Amino acid sequence: MKGKRASQGDGGTPQAYQLKLTLLGIKPPIWRRILMPGKMNLEDLHYVIQTVMGWDNSHLHLFELGGTEYSDPMFKLEEVEDERKVRLDKCGLRKGTSFLYRYDFGDSWEHQIKVEKVLTPEEKLTHPTCMAGERASPPEDCGGIWGYEELLEALSDPDHPDHEDMLEWVGGQFAPEAFDLEGVNKELQRHG
């Protein structure tokens, strides 16, 4: 989608945000570039992240933005604000702003979200779009960064003692370098 840059802080102009989401602690990086309508809130962004990362939304999550934490109020986390009440275009996002998204407090997946551009859409942006990305996300419940590294090691070596068990656990195949941009965007449109 092509767009013009919005003037920063222009409250009356519909905005869209080009965000780069990077899963921290893994090399080479696993990342996604998404375009989000400004009218969407942090809860919407959570669901978009779940889709573009291939997660299944089965764990707690929270955002940390500007020194405040936001999450789903049903989690009843202490000193955490309601993510549904925070629209992207009302929380002071500017080019270069970075904030965190944490998912699965056991595996501790931390994602940096960086605002790459603030755009004024030339046409109505009706749903989020994934523009690019690299590498598959780790499977749910694989044990965090260290568990993921062990999983990759076992899968890459047919002689590894855990190779067969790990291969069965991931459903018979796992391509860590694969990312299906078209499939992700179909999912976003379906749920958008």
Domain ranges of the chain: 3-135+180-191, 137-176
The per-residue pLDDT for 192 is 62
pLDDT in tens, the chain (192 residues): 333 333 344 455 668 999 999 999 999 999 999 999 999 999 999 999 999 999 999 999 999 999 999 999 999 999 999 999 999 999 999 999 999 999 999 999 999 999 999 988 666 777 899 999 999 999 999 999 999 999 999 999 999 999 999 999 999 999 999 999 999 999 998 876
Say how far apart CA 32 and CA 35 lie, in whole Å.
10
The per-residue pLDDT for 122 is 64
Q: In the structure encoding, which two tokens stand for residue 157, read together?
A: 């070596």
The per-residue pLDDT for 15 is 85
SS3 96: coil
CA atoms within 13 A on the CB side of 73: 6
Sign of the torsion formed by the C-alpha atoms of 41, 43, 49 and 51 = negative
Q: In the structure encoding, which two tokens stand for residue 150, read together?
A: 């062990």
What pTM value is reported for the model?
A: 0.90
CATH of 3-135+180-191, one of 3.30.300.30, 1.10.630.10, 3.10.290.30, 2.40.30.30: 3.10.290.30
Unique residue bearing structure tokens 């809130």: 41
SS3 string, 12-41, reads CCCCEEEEEEEECCCCCCEEEEEEEECCCE
- Paired with 161 in beta bridges are none
